[in-house]
Amino acid sequence: MAKPKRTSSKKKKGTARVSDASNLVIVESPAKAKTINKFLGKDYQVEASMGHVRDLPKSRMGVDIENDFTPEYIISPKNIKTAKHLKASAEGKISVYLATDPDREGEAISWHLAHIFSEANKDLRIHRVEFNEITRDAVLEAFQHPREIAINLVNAQQARRVLDRIVGYQLSPLLWKKVGRGLSAGRVQSVALRFIVDREREIRKFVPQEYWTLDARLSSVDGPEQEKTFLSRLSRIGSEKPVLPDAVETEKVKKELEGLPFEVAKIDKTEKRRRPQAPYTTSKLQQESYTRIGFSSANTMRIAQRLYEGVELGSEGSVGLITYMRTDSVNVAVSAQKEAAQFITEKFGADYLPKEPPVYKSRKSAQEAHEAIRPTSAYRTPDSLKEFLAEDELKLYELIWRKFIASQMVPAVDEVTSILILAGEKFWFKTTGTRNVFPGFSAAFGEIRTERDTAKDGEDDTPEVSEVPELKVGQKLKLLELPGEQHFTKPPARFNDASLVRLLEEKGIGRPSTYAPTISTLLDRDYCERKGGALMPTELGETVTDLLVQYFPKVLEAEFTALMEEELDEVEEGKIEWKKVLYDFSGPFNELLAKAREEMKNFKQEAVPTEYKCDTCGKFLVIKFGRFGKFLACSGFPDCKYTRSIPTGFFCPEPGCGGELVKRKAKGRRSFYGCSNYPRCTYVTNNLPKKEDESSSAPQDAQRPQGQ
C-alpha cells in the first residue's frame, strides 16, 4: 500500500493525542478502532465516532416541512466533545478514510463526518472505505480501493429518517395529549404492535373444536414367537378422510373394525434429499438464535456486534470473527467458499462437498453487494475459541459457524417408507418411517428444527415410527389394540421474537437493523410484555393500536408500510428522488392528523368511579389512563395527588396480611406483582396464580420467586 507523505503540523494543546500518522481513519466503535489500528500500521491513526456525530435534534422535529423537507442537522451536546476531538485529529493529515459500517446508516454517518471535516478544511482528501469483515486481508483490500460516498444510500437513509420524524414527532405528542405522557408511535413499531394485538384477539375469539384420531396397534408376526408391534393411523374410510368428532363416533368405527382382517396393501420406498439452508441473514439469525439457544433479538445483535468488531485471540491479536451482522443477503465471497470447501474435504471427506459451490437466492429487496453472516475463517472452529469467548458469545458463534459450513455441503439423503394397510374393504391405515441414508450437511449442523406457529388442526398427522417393520405386500397382520385419542384444535400461538421477526421480513416491513430495536421499543413503552417467551399486548398497547387504526388506518397497513420500504430501496438504487417519497406521504398523513386532533377520544380526561377510597384524604378513587395503562387516582385531584395500581383480584398469600396483589414496574420496566401493603409487606411474584374457580380470588399457589 502506497503511503502518502505527511505534511508537517503542530498539535494544539488540549485537542487530540500526538500522532505521526499521515492519515486519519474513522470507524464507529472503539472496539473496531482497536482491531483495525493493528492492521494498518503507524501511518494511520484510527479514531471512533461513537455512531452519529451529526444528526437531527432530539428536542424538536428538526425538519422544515414547509420548506422542501429541509432537515436541520446539528452536533448534539453529548457529541460536541467527540466532534472537536475528530476535527483536531484531522489537523495536519493528508487524507481521512471513513470506514463506518457497510449499510445505509453507516453511509450516512460517513456523509455527516465528511461535512464536518470539509467545513474545517476544504482541501482535506476524504475517502470512503467499505469492508464486510474485520480481518487483515479484507481491511487492507478496502484501503487499496477507496471510493466516493454513495449519495443514493445517504438519501435513502435521509428519507427514512425524515419519514420517521414526520410520523413519530407528530403522532407521539397526539398520544401524550389523548392518552399519557411518554408514549410513542412509529411507522414500523406501530405495525408490529398491530400484529401482536390482532393475534391476541384471534386467540381470545378462538373456540376449541374436539376431534379424535384412531390408531391400530398391529403385529407383524402371527404366532407364538415374540411379537413385533407398531402403530398405524386410520387415514381414510373408503375415499374420504375419517371424521371422528367425539368419543361416540370413534367407538362406532372401532366396533366396525373389530374382527376385520388387516393386510399390507402397499409399500412405497422413496429417497428424499434435504438441502441445506442458506447462511444466515440478520432476520434468520435472530429467529434461530431464539428457537435454538433462547436469545432475544436484542441480545443476539449485541453479541453479534462483539463478534464482528473483534475478539482478542491471544498471540493472534484482535480479530473480527464474523462478517457484518446487519444484512439481508445470502451471498458468500468466492474466497470464503474455497476455504470452506477445503475445510469440509479435510474434516468430513470429499463425499460431503458438492461439485459446484451452492448458490442461494436472496429476497427481492436484498442488497446483493453484501454478504451473508458467516465466520471470517472456516478453520476458526468453535472448539478452538472456547478459551477466548464468553459462554453466550461461543453459543452464537457456533450457530453461525455450523450454519455456514452446512450451507456449503451436499444435501442429506433419507429413505422414506410409507406403508398402507387395508382393514376389511374400506378402512385404510398408514404408517410412515424415515431412515437417514447419508447425513450430508446435517453432519455439521444437525437436524434443522422448523417452528410451527399454528397446528394444522384435524390433519392426518401420520405418526412416524422409529423403526419401520419389515413387511411384504399381502402380508396378514394381527390387530392387538385400537387406541383412540382425544384432541382439541389449538389457537394460533402468540408471537415471540422469532415468529414476529419472520413475519416482519415476509411482509417487507423494516430492515435488518430495525427488527431488534422495534421489539425492544414495544417492551420499553409497555405496549407489550413477555409471557414466557411470548409477546403479549398490554391494555395500553391495545388502546394505542385501536386509536391509530381508527384515525391512521393507512399508516398501520402492512401493505402500505411495505410499499414505503420498496420506495426507500428505489431511492437507494437512484430510481426515485428521495423528497418525492416525503411529498407523497405527508399530504394524506397531514389530513388524517388534523382530523385526529379534533376527533380522537381523550382517555386522560376519563375518570371511572370505584368503591376504593383514598389512603390520604378518604375520597373515592377513580380509574384513569396513563403511560402504563389504567391506574387508580384520587377523585380529589389536583388537591390530592394519591395514586395506586389497580388490584388484580388476588389477595396476598402472606399470613395475616390482607393486602391485594397489584401490578408494578421494576427498574428496566420489568413487570411483576406486589402486595398493596408495601412497604409493610414485601411479597412479590412474577406471575399471578391460576384460578381454579373463576369466583375465587384467593391465590392458593402463589409463590415467592427466586432471587426476590
Read off the CATH number of the domain in which 443 is found.
2.70.20.10
Q: What integer pLDDT is reported at residue 362 of this predicted model?
A: 78
Same domain, 381 and 327: yes
Average pLDDT, the chain: 87
324 catalytic residue (yes or no): yes
pLDDT cut 70: percent of the chain above it: 89
Q: What integer pLDDT is reported at residue 13 of this predicted model?
A: 39
Mean pLDDT, range 209-214, rounded to an integer: 96
pLDDT tens for 537-571 read 998 899 999 999 999 998 889 999 899 989 999 99
Residue 632: inside a domain? yes
Residue 691: inside a domain? no
Same domain, 634 and 677: yes
Of the residues 324, 352, 527, 683, only one is catalytic, namely: 324
For 257, the grid coordinates are: 373394525
Mean pLDDT, range 184-197, rounded to an integer: 93
Same domain, 440 and 555: no
For residue 313, give the CATH number of its domain.
1.10.290.10
Q: Where is the domain boundary, 555, 572, 599? A: 599
Residue 466: inside a domain? yes
Same domain, 286 and 390: yes
Q: How many whole angstroms separate alpha carbon 696 and alpha carbon 321? A: 56
Mean pLDDT, range 24-49, rounded to an integer: 91
pLDDT at 47 over 90: yes
pLDDT tens for 575-624 read 999 999 999 999 889 999 999 999 998 877 677 888 888 989 989 998 88
Quote the number of domains for the chain: 5
Burial annotation 632-666 (CB, 10 A radius, 16+ → b, else e): bbbbbeeeeebeebbbeebbbbeeeeebbbbbbee
SS3 label, residue 65: coil
Q: How many whole angstroms separate alpha carbon 92 and alpha carbon 527? A: 51
Q: What integer pLDDT is reported at residue 448 of this predicted model?
A: 45
pLDDT tens for 295-335 read 999 999 999 999 999 898 888 888 899 999 999 899 999 99
Residue 16: inside a domain? no
344 pLDDT band, cuts 50/70/90, is: very high
Residue 257: inside a domain? yes
Mean pLDDT, range 253-263, rounded to an integer: 94
Q: Where is the domain boundary, 599, 624, 648? A: 599
Same domain, 29 and 138: yes
Same domain, 137 and 74: yes
Residue 12: inside a domain? no
Q: What integer pLDDT is reported at residue 669 of this predicted model?
A: 54
Same domain, 27 and 145: yes
Same domain, 639 and 527: no
Same domain, 27 and 143: yes
Q: What integer pLDDT is reported at residue 8 of this predicted model?
A: 41
Same domain, 32 and 140: yes
Residue 531 CB: number of other CB atoms within 10 A?
A: 12
Same domain, 53 and 66: yes
Q: How many whole angstroms separate alpha carbon 463 and alpha carbon 241? A: 16
pLDDT at 406 over 90: yes
Q: Output the pTM of the full model.
A: 0.83
Q: Tell me 370's DSSP state.
A: S
Backbone Cα Rg of the chain: 32
pLDDT at 698 over 50: no
Residue 327: inside a domain? yes
Mean pLDDT, range 440-447, rounded to an integer: 87
Q: What integer pLDDT is reported at residue 41 of this predicted model?
A: 86
688 pLDDT band, cuts 50/70/90, is: confident
Q: What integer pLDDT is reported at residue 459 of this predicted model?
A: 43
Domain boundaries, position 562: 169-205+496-599
pLDDT cut 90: percent of the chain above it: 62
For residue 513, give the CATH number of its domain.
1.10.460.10
Q: Where is the domain boundary, 488, 519, 548? A: 488
Residue 323: inside a domain? yes
Same domain, 176 and 221: no
For 635-667, the DSSP string reads: TTTTT---EEPPEEEEE--STT---EEEEEE-T
